[in-house]
Structure 1
Amino acid sequence: MNAKHKTVFVAFSSQKGGVGKSTFTTLVASTMHYRLGYNVAVFDADFPQHSLMKMKDRDLKMVMDNEALKKLAYKQFTTINKKAYSIMQHKADSVLDAAREFINASSVPVDVIFFDLPGTVNTPGILKALAGMHHIFTPITADRVVMESTLVFSQLLQNIIMKQGETSIESINLFWNQVDGRESTPLYNVYDNLIDELGLSLMRSRIKNSTRFRKESEVNSKTIFRSTLIPPDERLMKACQLDLFINEFLKIIKL
């Protein structure tokens, strides 16, 4: 491994469940690894559900059972000439050490490691794991409970962990998810102003609401959105503005 090559540690993290942490980890990791040419890996430390480990098993079975997806996967892997990215299960309290061991043992430079972390700060080792990230991305929705939980969580990271000095965190980035075009724009403006007043960073990209975020590939489907083996279909990405999000994401992490 090239000792000068910096591997970026990224977490989609929130204290509120169901806002899309694991989904965005999968979508961005798959886009970067399979379509954009980066080498990524994922550590699933979200005990006890370990949803990404389970998703990979389901994805593999789905591809093997679906002829269209099997052909798509075969064409993809022969074209990019590399394997699927690794998803490894680990506990939060030692996941940073495990990631560094993985980087040192890797035969190719690893550009980004994504961490799927538990959604509660009471989990042993979670604050240490968060402090070891370079960039944290937190999805938010226009829901009072989600916003209150997220703002408290983000302020904890920014005002306590980052100011203590013993941290790798370079940025904490909130972004709007599940944006419904029918919702009141002034509502978002109020929240935008509140986030700005608290000194938190808000991404310009807004992810439009789509049922695709809650669906995995189906038996007869010919297109992919959320998968650990194949990147999301480009038309589906544009429909929910995920393409714009990933462009901004790459600028933030400087890749």
Structure 2
Amino acid sequence: MDPKHKPVFIAFSSQKGGVGKSTFTSLVASIMHYRMGYNVAVFDADFPQHSLMKMKSRDLAMVMENENLKRMAYKQFTAIGKKAYPIMQHKAEYLLEAAHKWISESNIPIDVLFFDLPGTVNTSGILRTLAGMHHIFTPITADRMVMESTLIFTQLLQNVIMEKGETSIKSVNLFWNQVDGRENTALYEVYNKLIGQLGLNLMKSQVKKSSKFRKESELDSKNVFRSTLLPPDERLMRACQLDIFIEEFLEIIQL
């Protein structure tokens, strides 16, 4: 691999489970790899769940059983001539060394390497791994427990890792996920003000609430949302404003 070609390291990371870090890892990786022409790879270090490894196995089985998805996958492969992006399982400890070794041995120049990390800073090696990221994206929801743990976690990243240690981090970005239009907008305003007062970066785009974030593809599905083998349907992306999020995401990472 060309040593001048250095991939961007990105983690969707949070101290709180269930806010969508594994989901966003797969969504953004699939959009970039299958629709936008970038070469991506994923390291799944979220022990013990390893959600992305399990998702890929389910996706492969689903494509084999669903004729519509099988046709979509074949059409995609013939159109872009690319295989599915690789997902590797590894522990958080020595993850950066494993990632750099894998990149150096890859026959394909990788543009973006995504990391799905454990949801606790107590995991061995996690702080060092976070310090090796270029960009960190943290989904948040309007829930007191989520906000408290996230703000503490984000301040740790900015005040301890970025300011006091050797780090590759260029940006830490909070973004609203699962936004319900019926929720109290005043609550969001309070949180937005607090985030600003703490000097943290909040993305402008908000991802709207959708059942598609929780559902795996149904066996008789004609449209795909969450998949490691196919990009999300563009109409479904627009419905939850994921398309707007992707635009801002690409502006931040500046490939």
TM range (shorter): over 0.9
In 2, the alpha carbon distance for the partners of 1:58 and 1:128 equals: 31
Local SS of the residue matching 1:93: coil
Aligned twin of 1:169: 169
Partner deviation per Cα, 1:168-208 (whole Å, 9 max, x = no partner): 00000000000000112111111111000000000000000
In 2, the alpha carbon distance for the partners of 1:198 and 1:6 equals: 32
The within-5 A match list for 1:148-167 is 148-167=148-167
Letter of the aligned partner of 1:27 in structure 2?
L
In 1, the alpha carbon distance for the partners of 2:162 and 2:229 equals: 35
Aligned twin of 2:102: 102
Partner deviation per Cα, 1:109-142 (whole Å, 9 max, x = no partner): 1000000000001100000110000000000000
Question: How many residue pairs are counted as aligned between the two chains?
Answer: 255
In 1, the alpha carbon distance for the partners of 2:200 and 2:94 equals: 28
In 2, the alpha carbon distance for the partners of 1:74 and 1:197 equals: 50
In 2, the alpha carbon distance for the partners of 1:17 and 1:185 equals: 24
RMSD: 0.6
Local SS of the residue matching 2:11: strand
Letter of the aligned partner of 1:16 in structure 2?
K
Aligned twin of 1:36: 36
Q: CA deviation at 1:165?
A: 3.4
In 2, the alpha carbon distance for the partners of 1:161 and 1:36 equals: 32
Letter of the aligned partner of 2:235 in structure 1?
R
In 2, the alpha carbon distance for the partners of 1:145 and 1:165 equals: 28
Letter of the aligned partner of 1:97 in structure 2?
E
Unaligned runs of 5+ in 1: none
**TM-score (normalised: structure 1):** 0.99
Letter of the aligned partner of 2:180 in structure 1?
D
In 1, the alpha carbon distance for the partners of 2:76 and 2:94 equals: 34
More off after superposition, 132-141 vs 182-191: 182-191
Letter of the aligned partner of 2:154 in structure 1?
S
In 2, the alpha carbon distance for the partners of 1:149 and 1:209 equals: 21
Q: CA deviation at 1:6?
A: 2.0
Aligned twin of 1:221: 221
In 1, the alpha carbon distance for the partners of 2:82 and 2:183 equals: 43
In 1, the alpha carbon distance for the partners of 2:75 and 2:92 equals: 36
Q: CA deviation at 1:82?
A: 1.0
Local SS of the residue matching 2:94: helix
Letter of the aligned partner of 2:35 in structure 1?
R
Local SS of the residue matching 1:139: strand
In 2, the alpha carbon distance for the partners of 1:156 and 1:75 equals: 45
Task: Report whether the alignment pairs 1:142 with 2:146.
Answer: no
Unaligned runs of 5+ in 2: none
Aligned twin of 1:75: 75
In 2, the alpha carbon distance for the partners of 1:137 and 1:102 equals: 23
Aligned twin of 1:129: 129
More off after superposition, 23-32 vs 101-110: 101-110
In 2, the alpha carbon distance for the partners of 1:204 and 1:172 equals: 14
More off after superposition, 64-73 vs 99-108: 99-108
In 2, the alpha carbon distance for the partners of 1:11 and 1:124 equals: 17
Letter of the aligned partner of 1:44 in structure 2?
D
Letter of the aligned partner of 1:189 in structure 2?
E
Task: Report whether the alignment pairs 1:245 with 2:253.
Answer: no
The within-5 A match list for 1:9-88 is 9-88=9-88
More off after superposition, 67-76 vs 91-100: 91-100
Aligned twin of 2:2: 2
In 1, the alpha carbon distance for the partners of 2:84 and 2:191 equals: 39
Q: CA deviation at 1:94?
A: 1.2
In 2, the alpha carbon distance for the partners of 1:37 and 1:200 equals: 31
